[in-house]
Amino acid sequence: MSSNLICPSMMCSDFSSLEAEVEHLDRAGIDIFHLDIMDGHFVPNFGMGLQDVETIRKLTNKLVDVHLMIDNPGEYVEKFADLGIDIIYFHPEADTHPARTIDKIKKKQKKVGIAINPGTSIALIEELLPMIDYVMVMTVNPGFAGQVYLNYVDRKIKRLACLKHNYDYQLMVDGAISEEKILTLGQLGVDGFVLGTSALFGKEESYEELVSKYKSGDEV
């Protein structure tokens, strides 16, 4: 049985000591550094900047993804690919031609991820599933840390967990993911977890202790 993919949401990290944060998380054995990019339009907030992305990319050899919570994400694929990002998530809800954006990502030889908001139906993305590598289900309305998990999304997660056996994608979740949610969602078939203040940052336990526990999913 493969271990859970653990993906720290770097928006929640301590930016006054970003280099140390990256080094500690890297040493703790995280799998993917998760970087939120927001434009103030698609979501009502602004996220990490290009300098943040460049800095984190230079500090680690681990996989780095970007979550493009922006309008017209296809226009920015090349920019982030050229910064060395490994996985590019975008929202089909924000893209007039999502299949074209997927093709752009693949042409840059990057992994393709689609992210879907809590209110987005599987029907909107089902035609894209054969073309992508990751599906990330938002379990809060995107844009801000510290929100409450939306339980009605579990039904969609279960359905996508079933569908992944027909395709070749990994199922991820992002938003208010607590210790308990890692266990229960892992049992539903979720492969990876984006973790912020609910489970990783600002805790008494070290990153090493937390990541080790979360990767196994046991006794969380």
Task: Give the CA angle between residues 59, 108, 95 to the nearest 5°.
Answer: 100
Q: What is the DSSP string of 164-182?
A: TTTS--EEEEESS--HHHH
**175 φ/ψ angles, rounded to the nearest 5 degrees:** 130, 105
User: What gap in Å lies between CA 211 and CA 131, rounded to an integer?
Assistant: 30
Catalytic residues: 36, 174
**Which two structure tokens, joined as six digits, stand for 74?**
């296809």
Helices (H), the chain: 18-28, 50-59, 77-82, 98-107, 122-125, 154-163, 179-188, 207-216
List Cα–Cα distances, 26 to 44, 60, 106, 187, 206, in angstroms: 30, 7, 27, 26, 13
Task: Give the CA angle between residues 69, 8, 86 to the nearest 5°.
Answer: 65
